[in-house]
Amino acid sequence: MENIPRLKAAFRRAYPDAPEPVVCRAPGRINLLGEHVDYNGLPVLPMTIDRDICVACAPRNDHRVRLSDREPPFPPAEFVNGPDIAPSPAGSWENYCKAAFQGLNRHFGVENPPGLDIRVSGDVPIAAGLSSSSALVVACALACLKALDKSLGPDISRIELATLLADAEQYVGTRGGGMDQAIILLGEEGDACKIDFHPLRAEKVPVFDEYVFVACNSLVKAEKTGAALTRYNEGPLSCRLIRALVEKQAQTEFGDEIELAHLADLWYGPLCLTNAEVASLFDAAFEKDTTTLEEAAAALDMAPQAIRDAWIGELPEPEGGFPLRARARHQLTEFKRVDAARDLALTGDAIGFGRLMNESHASCAQDYAVSCPELDELVAIARRAGSIGSRLTGAGFGGCTVNLVPAKDVDRFRATVERQYYRTYLPAHRIPCDESTLESSILLVRPTPGAGYLS
């Protein structure tokens, strides 16, 4: 947890004339199971962590929002608050704040919202798959609510705010789902949560008494505002084409009136299909491993350009076509794993839960192609070091793994991962890791309360 007196002192140094600030806190999160499925409306199983982003904020007499952070990569920024806020260049950190402010100003129909002075501080590792960006969005949203004189609860529920912010965060260019904003707002101390999106709800899922979850940072940065953004968006965009092709197949099998707004409608919509029925629909829709744009166009009776305009934009077509069969398979198998993992957690079966985490990593790596050599190596080392379940967590392409480790073996786990990954593998692959980086790269994480006001 951030040091609040220190944050307030930093606020006063940055804005000496401002009134006493209020502090808003939003935790990071670690996803235990259910990766790259939230944007299709399929359930996920994350938990909040004891790392957070805090913002100290106080109102201004004008409409300007001033932002500062103690970290050098986050230079001070300023913008005029309103319902239409022009984005800063891609990759600028203030876009996360602008996303929240624009979303809330539009929601409440406020034309001339007041300004705020904001000081940010946090200890969620950045670009590590632990959702530092959504934590910043949520913390800024709580600050914005204060400026608008609105209260979390009476004026907007946590569920409404999570839904609104999932849309609002698309301002930064990602086509993400709603997992991060939901767990950050709905998470509870001491438990993980199964999040369902139809409708949005969070169900407490107990964590295991004699085990701990450990995050290990691969130290490969996966900034979703940079190169990883294109790679990340490949998932949601491919799934839009999958949805269209599966909808067509469902119409052939069940009638022309069938419409799928999301892939999740296969399970939750009027069809209410079983997993076996979804599997056979996918088999029929994707007979081959790959589907070319021409083939998709023929199946959908549309021009290739119309498919691009409707769903996939500039998504590059790989040689031989889009690997839709494997991408769709991941959606189905990950859905089954989330369901099974919840049941196993309720019965305290850590070994079974860990097995599902291992299977999820294989599916993320092979069927969804969101892993990288460093993550695969870190997962392999963690399993040798005593983890009973290891997988990448979050968007992938770098960032952290999550590991389920018997509490009594944590020291051995830490020592082995430190030696084999951080002191051997990384130097051999020319990835820098000094002692202080190493110290903050293996984190025991435990679930903390969802976002809220600290003062």
Residues making contact with ligand NG1 (CB under 6 A): 31, 35-36, 38-39, 129, 131, 134, 169, 174, 176-177, 179-180, 224, 394-395
SS3 44: strand
**180 in active site:** yes
Cβ-based nearer residue to ligand NG1, 212 or 222: 222
Cβ-based nearer residue to ligand NG1, 158 or 391: 391
Cβ-based nearer residue to ligand NG1, 8 or 342: 342
- Smallest gap from Cβ 233 to ligand NG1, in A, equals 9
Sequential DSSP letters for 318-370: PTT-B-HHHHHHHHHHHHHHHHHHHHHHHTT-HHHHHHHHHHHHHHHHHTS--
Contact 100, 451 (CB under 8 A): no
- Smallest gap from Cβ 178 to ligand NG1, in A, equals 7
Please report, in angstroms and rounded to a whole number, the separation of the first and last CA atoms in the chain: 14
Inter-residue long-range contacts of 278-285, CB under 8 Å, 24+ positions, other chains counted:
278/332, 279/332, 281/246, 281/249, 281/250, 281/253, 282/246, 282/325, 282/328, 282/329, 282/332, 284/249, 284/253, 285/242, 285/245, 285/246, 285/248, 285/249, 285/328
Catalytic residue among 52, 117, 180, 265: 180
- Smallest gap from Cβ 193 to ligand NG1, in A, equals 14
- Smallest gap from Cβ 450 to ligand NG1, in A, equals 16
- Smallest gap from Cβ 224 to ligand NG1, in A, equals 5
Cβ-based nearer residue to ligand NG1, 150 or 198: 198
Cβ-based nearer residue to ligand NG1, 30 or 281: 30
Cβ-based nearer residue to ligand NG1, 129 or 323: 129
Query: What gap in Å lies between CA 278 and CA 403, rounded to an integer?
Result: 30
Q: Exposed, middle or buried, 99 (CB in 10 Å: 0-12/13-18/19+)?
A: buried
Neighbours of 423 (CB within 10 A): 13
Q: Where are the beta strands (DSSP E) in 83-169?
A: 116-122
Residue whose Cβ sits closest to ligand NG1: 176
- Smallest gap from Cβ 394 to ligand NG1, in A, equals 2
- Smallest gap from Cβ 29 to ligand NG1, in A, equals 8
Cβ-based nearer residue to ligand NG1, 40 or 249: 40
Contact 246, 285 (CB under 8 A): yes
Inter-residue long-range contacts of 190-195, CB under 8 Å, 24+ positions, other chains counted:
190/446, 190/447, 191/47, 191/447, 192/32, 192/45, 192/46, 192/47, 192/345, 192/447, 193/45, 193/46, 193/47, 194/43, 194/44, 194/45, 194/338, 194/342, 195/38, 195/43, 195/44, 195/45, 195/46
**Torsion sign across C-alpha atoms 180, 182, 185, 191:** negative
Contact 278, 246 (CB under 8 A): no
- Residue from 65, 68, 64 nearest 55 by CA: 68
Phi, psi of 228 (to 5 degrees): -65, -20
Query: What gap in Å lies between CA 48 and CA 29, rounded to an integer?
Result: 4
- Smallest gap from Cβ 182 to ligand NG1, in A, equals 9
SS3 33: strand
Hey, what are 44's tokens? 């996920």
Cβ-based nearer residue to ligand NG1, 119 or 361: 361
Cβ-based nearer residue to ligand NG1, 57 or 179: 179
Pairing between strand 64-69 and 116-122? parallel
- Smallest gap from Cβ 232 to ligand NG1, in A, equals 6
> Which residues carry out catalysis?
180
